């Protein structure tokens, strides 16, 4: 006979009625919790009572509740982090109940989410947002607020707060080899604003073309196009962007080049040393400008860090960096180190006052850098992301040995080369499985012929609790 019992327990400080059905307490508890999450009675982020407390309410062994919690975490309904307890997962309302083990279903039929609400996301370009150093950032914000001069709360210098520019000058010189004095650094609300400012300056100088890499981000090409600039694509090979195309007969004759020399996005290689020199030589002889996108310079694993291209010629290379990969894109904090002869034009394009970036956020980042908290955070996340990368490589070697992995010596993503003609099929299978993936073709410049079939997998994106499930889902859809 089927049992049914009802209990009330405190969830997030509010009593919640649970109707536990079935002959097994563990299965009944899991079903009741799934139902409470699915119907919205347990909101995302709600903290669940400890296994000890809930076991006492139910009158069962603590292990019964702990096992139920662990299973629901594995299914994606709940999250568990040290010091934060067990909580309802942010997207758990989209997760369906698991089918019985006896059901004969294809992998993607076992857990079909609502359209537009993936169970797992492996998009590149985003860090694990759950790992944002909230406590250390809060401490830095308090110190910054207490020590802030009164004038910091007025209309600011368009270059940004002097405290942050001084901290960035020291950090960039030490970690990336960038030649930058504080008065030469311009704080921006991210890479996009820096790129738009430089596009405005180039357009004012009658530049008509900015060459780009044949694989990259369409939002960057779009920003340049919106500024009235054409974006011819430069070919790529195993040594990176083929910069000799800039001087080849019949090739593009741009006034500037946008490039990711330390870690090409998305293919993952570093620009070969001879090509780095050749690119700077081109800028010197032609009067051109190199726009260096150093988007994830902190994350290197199997090789020595590749220094900034800007160090070869600070007057021909504009260096652009951001905190979006090392901390979080939501901070909207980036920086630019333009050549001195462009500084006034950049500031004129930005305006007379700082209108895009909070002074308090700038002061907090300055404190975060100066106190050493930023270095500690980067070291910790570097180790975590390296472990994830190693787990990805090991899982593919075991479960999808025909898939070749490249671009893994640095960064937050890997390129998985697929058998010819399978990229679209894998993406369709992933969508049915509730796994958000991007194929290499999504990053191909419109003027570039189709290349190899591949996936660009962002292994840093999931939270720690979601990573095992995301990795398993990935392996299930691969050939």
Give the pLDDT confidence score for residue 12 in this predicted structure.
58
CA–CA separation, 246 and 261 (whole Å): 16
Whole-prediction pTM:
0.75
Instruction: Please report which helix (H) or strand (E) contains residue 404, including its range.
Output: strand 404-406
Mean pLDDT of the chain: 88
Give the pLDDT confidence score for residue 249 in this predicted structure.
64
For helices 62-75 and 25-38, give the axis angle rounded to 10 degrees: 40
Phi first, then psi, for residue 370 (nearest 5°) are -70, -30
Give the pLDDT confidence score for residue 252 in this predicted structure.
60
CA–CA separation, 257 and 291 (whole Å): 6
Q: Which residues of the chain have pLDDT under 70?
A: 1-17, 19, 22-23, 82-83, 91-116, 249-252, 303
Give the pLDDT confidence score for residue 466 in this predicted structure.
94
For CA atoms 202, 173, 458, 187, the dihedral sign is negative
What domains can you pick out in the chain, each with its CATH number?
5-88 (1.10.10.10), 120-128+376-477 (3.90.1150.10), 139-371 (3.40.640.10)
CA 312 to chain centroid = 28
> What tokens appear for 78 in the block?
């709940």
Among 55, 346, 316, 1, which residue's Cα sits nearest to residue 193? 346
Give the pLDDT confidence score for residue 29 in this predicted structure.
87
């Amino acid at each position: 006979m089927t049992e049914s019992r009802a209990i009330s327990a405190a969830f997030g400080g509010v009593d919640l009625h649970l109707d536990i059905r079935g002959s097994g307490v563990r299965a009944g508890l899991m079903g009741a919790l799934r139902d409470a999450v699915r119907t919205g009675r347990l909101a995302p982020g709600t903290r669940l009572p400890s296994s000890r407390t809930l076991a006492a309410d139910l009158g069962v062994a603590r292990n019964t509740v702990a096992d139920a919690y662990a299973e629901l975490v594995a299914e994606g309904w709940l999250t568990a982090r040290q010091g934060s307890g067990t909580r309802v997962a942010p997207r758990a309302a989209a997760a369906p109940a698991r089918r019985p083990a006896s059901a004969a279903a294809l992998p993607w039929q076992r857990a079909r989410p609502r359209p537009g609400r993936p169970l797992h996301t492996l998009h590149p370009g985003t860090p694990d947002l759950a790992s944002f150093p909230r406590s250390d950032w809060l401490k830095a914000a308090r110190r910054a607020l207490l020590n802030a001069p009164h004038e910091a709360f007025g209309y600011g210098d368009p270059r940004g707060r002097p405290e942050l520019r001084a901290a960035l000058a020291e950090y960039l010189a030490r970690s990336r080899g960038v030649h930058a004095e504080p008065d030469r650094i311009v704080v921006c609300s991210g890479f996009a604003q820096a790129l738009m400012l430089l596009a405005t300056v180039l357009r004012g100088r009658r530049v008509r073309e900015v060459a780009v890499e044949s694989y990259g981000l369409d939002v960057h090409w779009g920003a340049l196009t919106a500024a009235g600039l054409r974006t011819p694509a430069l070919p790529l090979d195993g040594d990176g962007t083929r910069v000799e195309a800039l001087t080849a007969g019949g090739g593009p004759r741009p006034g500037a080049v946008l490039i990711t020399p330390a870690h090409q996005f998305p293919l993952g290689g570093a620009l070969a040393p001879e090509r780095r020199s050749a690119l700077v030589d081109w800028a010197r002889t032609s009067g051109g400008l190199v726009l260096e996108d150093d988007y994830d310079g902190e994350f290197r694993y199997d090789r020595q860090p590749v220094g900034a291209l800007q160090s070869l010629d600070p007057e021909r290379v504009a260096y652009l960096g951001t905190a979006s990969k090392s901390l979080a894109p939501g901070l909207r904090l980036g920086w630019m180190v333009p050549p001195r002869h462009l500084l006034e034009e950049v500031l004129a394009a930005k305006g007379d006052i700082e209108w895009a970036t909070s002074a308090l956020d700038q002061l907090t980042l300055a404190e975060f850098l100066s106190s050493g908290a930023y270095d500690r955070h980067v070291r910790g996340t570097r180790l975590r992301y390296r472990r994830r990368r190693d787990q990805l490589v090991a899982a593919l070697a075991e479960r999808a040995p025909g898939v070749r992995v490249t671009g893994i010596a640095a960064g937050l993503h890997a390129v998985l080369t697929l058998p010819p003609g399978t990229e679209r099929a894998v993406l369709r299978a992933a969508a049915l499985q509730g796994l958000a993936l991007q194929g290499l073709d999504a990053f191909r410049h419109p003027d570039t012929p189709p290349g190899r079939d591949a996936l660009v997998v962002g292994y840093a994106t999931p939270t720690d609790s979601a990573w095992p499930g995301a990795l398993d889902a990935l392996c299930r859809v691969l050939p």
